[in-house]
Amino acid sequence: MEVVKYQEIGNIGEIVIDNPPVNATSHAVREGLMAALEKANLNARIQAIILRCEGRTFVAGADIREFGKPPKDPHLSVVNHAFESSPKPVVCALHGTALGGGLELALSCHVRLAAAGTRLGLPEVSLGILPGAGGTQRLPRLIGTAAAAEMIATGELIDARRALDLGVIDAIVEEDLRAAALVRARQMAQDNIPIRRTRELAADAISGEDLKRIEETIRRKARGQLAPFKALESVLAASRLPFDEGQEQERAFFRELVASEQAAALRHAFFVEREAVKPHSPDPSIKPGAIQTVGVVGSGTMGTGIAIAFLRADMSVVLTDAQDASLNRAKETIASALASDVAKGRSSEARMQQRQAALTLDTSLASLRSADLIIEAVYEDMAVKQEVFHQLDRVAKDGAILASNTSYLDVNRIAEAVRRPLPVLGLHFFSPAHVMRLVEVIRTDTVSDEAVLTVQAAIKRLGKTPVTMRVCDGFVGNRMLTQRTRQAYFMLEEGALPDRIDKVLHGFGFPMGPFQMADLAGLDVGWRNRQSRLDTLTPRERRCDILDQLYQQGRYGQKTGSGFYRYDNGRDPQPDPQVEALIVAHSERVGLRRREVSDEEILVRCVHPMINEGARLLEEGIVQRPGDIDTVWLHGYGFPRYRGGPMFYADGIGLEKVLETMRRYHAETGEAYWKPAGLLADLARSGKGFYTAD
């Protein structure tokens, strides 16, 4: 397929990129651009050039499949230099998204027009690199060093209006974009308007105040990542160095970063996330059904959040609860969330009113008769959920899909409460449901592929990431989290303190450690979960009742101002001597002599058992791919993205190290949870990894 086309329209040369799905600047595109530009410039009849793209978007970035491979000429920086150096004016027409290499190409053109709704940005830092084709040198010359530094170092995307205000583009086009580009090109040729080359502009010096603010933003948003600070350094060079020298430094930084472990991990995350959300069906002829109306049973925190998510996707929602007071609270929360969308510019007043009108509140399950999908979001108790599904069996319409929002219960048992042949599955939303992107989609033994595909499509309409798996206790995320939580509590008994363990996990890259997270979720919630599972715990786990003691003291976490930490100033956790005394007394009571627990031991005991459990999930067929596990942990549990996810991280450190940890502690304790998974042992023995198993 010809990915770059060239034609002449009178005295205008038109260069069109047609490389679906996102017009990435692949090697073939770069070659085609150079050839087309040469044709236009060699033809004496051509007086101006327009550059545009077919399909739904302008160039949305480079072809990242080429990253890490030997470069092929021409490099994009050479293409950009050629367009910028063209003796004939080049008008670029942007639509959809102009990202990464796409925006770098546009910055090299002499005039930039954008359709209303276009989004622009240089988000390379999200892949652990920086713009490598002149972006860090051209953008500051065009919009100022401070504005460019903020955009590039944070990877921020901006809309066309913001781009026009900053000076990234020259005009917004409301009507026919191609026609407007032709008019502008003809005008430049006819009026002999001077060409403005971005590289010839001067970049201003950044103020100390702006620099400090941007550095603080990077530390807050991209803690532990290398690329944002390298990107900032490269942008600052634009104000100190001539263009060619600045671009040479940019290329050096790019080569350094693209070969880094962080960039490899971030590229991995990019690919596995897209693979994880692909429809799971052995029969490509099966298509997802349509969902227009969603029913939600239970108007607590989870049910209300789920309702907000579907309303934002412009679906009708019927929210039911037996208690009027709960429904009234939910109504206020939903109204506040939708109003906030308007205040933040994410929605219009008219759209907010439409969404509010699409919400029905009712105390009767009979109001769910028209729902295509009904999601139960009641208390996490098997008997309660089974009773709800027994009632839904009587009111749901034929063909409706029934889903339980559960974090660990056996959805197959819940499905047994339904006698009619209605599809039943699990949907584990993460709290807050209208914010968190991950949804675990749990296939029951009897659910159809069509129902699963339908739900996957509906979840993607919410802008969320559905990862599909089979039924097991805790599914993927919580089953692995259990391994980390167990060891964290055991290390409290043995000699560590909450802030030490949290500091190590935070230093590894998690947004917070296990005990700060427990305080945030509520120790009362954790205590109820523990009580519901006491019969499954080992003797040592039952004996390790530190959580029980805190609960009995009314320390429920942030909500009560004290949990594992004190919260004297709102959400700022402070170590509490009372908790330390409680833990030390507990160790004495159970006969454990406290010792120094090293940072290395904390990290190994928290992370390696999770990896081993991930191997079990693969071994048991709960998930089909290690990337599904990594996606769950990246989106639902804050695993540091620049480490790629637990299974990718395991390959990086070597599975033999994880196996050695499991064997050592299994020999010391004899506990089954330290037993190495068969898959882990097999791969380690063969010198392979989870991603090199085949």
CA 73 to chain centre: 33
Across the range 452-458, mean pLDDT stands at 95
**Those residues with Cβ within 8 angstroms of residue 37's Cβ, 6 or more apart along the chain or in another chain:** 15, 49, 82, 83, 86
- Tokens describing residue 165: 């205000």
Determine the pLDDT at residue 169: 98
CA 530 to chain centre: 30
**Those residues with Cβ within 8 angstroms of residue 407's Cβ, 6 or more apart along the chain or in another chain:** 380, 428, 474, 475, 478
CA 232 to chain centre: 23
Determine the pLDDT at residue 693: 76
Determine the pLDDT at residue 301: 93
All structural domains of the chain, each given as residue ranges with its CATH number in brackets, are: 4-259 (3.90.226.10), 293-470 (3.40.50.720), 496-594 (1.10.1040.50)
Across the range 42-55, mean pLDDT stands at 97
- Work out whether strand 119-121 and strand 97-99 pair parallel, antiparallel, or are unpaired: parallel
Q: Partners of 466 in the beta sheet?
A: 439
Across the range 648-653, mean pLDDT stands at 97
Mutual orientation of helices 349-357 and 324-343 as an angle, nearest 10°? Answer: 160
**Residues catalogued as catalytic:** 104, 124
Task: Give the Cα separation of 279 and 285 in Å (integer).
Answer: 12
Element housing 17 (H / E): strand 12-17
- Tokens describing residue 362: 């009712």
Phi–psi pair at 645, nearest 5 degrees: 110, 160
Looking at the predicted structure, is the pLDDT value of residue 177 above 70?
yes
Place of tokens 């290390």: 491
Residue-wise pLDDT tens digits, 219-243:
998 999 999 999 999 999 999 999 9
Q: Could you tell me the end-to-end alpha-carbon distance of the chain, in angstroms, rounded to an integer?
A: 32
Element housing 274 (H / E): helix 261-276
Q: How would residue 283 be classed by pLDDT, with cut points 50, 70 and 90?
A: confident
Q: Which amino acid is at 181?
A: A
Residue-wise pLDDT tens digits, 554-574:
999 999 999 999 998 878 999
Choose among 51, 53, 50: nearest CA to 188.
Answer: 50
**Those residues with Cβ within 8 angstroms of residue 179's Cβ, 6 or more apart along the chain or in another chain:** none
Determine the pLDDT at residue 281: 67
Looking at the predicted structure, is the pLDDT value of residue 694 above 90?
no
Task: Give the Cα separation of 507 and 390 in Å (integer).
Answer: 47
Q: What is the DSSP letter of 203?
A: P
- Tokens describing residue 676: 């190495």
Residue-wise pLDDT tens digits, 17-29:
999 999 999 999 9
- Peptide bond preceding 21 in cis form (omega within 30 of 0): yes
* SS3 state of residue 423: coil
**Those residues with Cβ within 8 angstroms of residue 190's Cβ, 6 or more apart along the chain or in another chain:** none
Determine the pLDDT at residue 261: 96
Residue-wise pLDDT tens digits, 250-271:
999 999 999 999 999 999 999 9
- Tokens describing residue 273: 């996330």
Residue-wise pLDDT tens digits, 429-441:
998 999 999 999 9
Determine the pLDDT at residue 495: 97
Residue-wise pLDDT tens digits, 54-96:
999 999 998 877 776 778 899 999 999 999 999 999 999 999 9
Looking at the predicted structure, is the pLDDT value of residue 397 above 80?
yes
Contact 494, 595 (CB under 8 A): yes
Task: Give the Cα separation of 45 and 11 in Å (integer).
Answer: 6
Q: What is the DSSP letter of 465?
A: E
How many helices (H) and strands (E) are present in the chain, helices listed first? 29, 19
- Tokens describing residue 671: 């506990």
**CA-angle at 457, arms to 454 and 460, nearest 5°:** 150
Residue-wise pLDDT tens digits, 502-534:
999 999 999 999 999 999 989 998 999 899 889
Element housing 296 (H / E): strand 293-297
Choose among 183, 224, 35: nearest CA to 643.
Answer: 224
Looking at the predicted structure, is the pLDDT value of residue 44 above 90?
yes
Q: How would residue 453 be classed by pLDDT, with cut points 50, 70 and 90?
A: very high
Encode burial over 525-550: b for 16+ CB neighbours within 10 A, e otherwise.
Answer: ebbeebeeeeeeeeeebeebbbbeeb
Place of tokens 């206020």: 332
Residue-wise pLDDT tens digits, 302-321:
999 999 999 999 999 999 99
How much is the mean pLDDT over the chain?
A: 95
Task: Give the Cα separation of 561 and 141 in Å (integer).
Answer: 50
C-alpha radius of gyration, the chain, whole number: 28
Choose among 689, 380, 345: nearest CA to 525.
Answer: 380
* SS3 state of residue 644: coil
Q: Which residue has the higher pLDDT, 1 or 633?
A: 633
CA 447 to chain centre: 28
- Tokens describing residue 526: 């954790």
- Tokens describing residue 640: 């540091």
Looking at the predicted structure, is the pLDDT value of residue 174 above 80?
yes
**Those residues with Cβ within 8 angstroms of residue 511's Cβ, 6 or more apart along the chain or in another chain:** 638
CB atoms within 10 A of CB 32: 22
Determine the pLDDT at residue 25: 94
Determine the pLDDT at residue 68: 65
Task: Give the Cα separation of 105 and 59 in Å (integer).
Answer: 9
Question: DSSP letter string over 572-584?
Answer: EEEE-HHHHHHHH
Across the range 573-597, mean pLDDT stands at 97
Task: Give the Cα separation of 310 and 315 in Å (integer).
Answer: 6
Residue-wise pLDDT tens digits, 334-375:
999 999 999 998 899 999 999 999 999 999 999 999 999 999
Determine the pLDDT at residue 31: 97
Task: Give the Cα separation of 461 and 455 in Å (integer).
Answer: 10
Determine the pLDDT at residue 160: 97
Question: DSSP letter string over 299-310?
Answer: -SHHHHHHHHHH
Residue-wise pLDDT tens digits, 126-146:
999 999 999 999 999 999 999
Looking at the predicted structure, is the pLDDT value of residue 447 above 70?
yes
Determine the pLDDT at residue 284: 80
Task: Give the Cα separation of 577 and 575 in Å (integer).
Answer: 7
Q: How would residue 551 be classed by pLDDT, with cut points 50, 70 and 90?
A: very high
Contact 33, 80 (CB under 8 A): no
Q: What is the DSSP letter of 355?
A: H
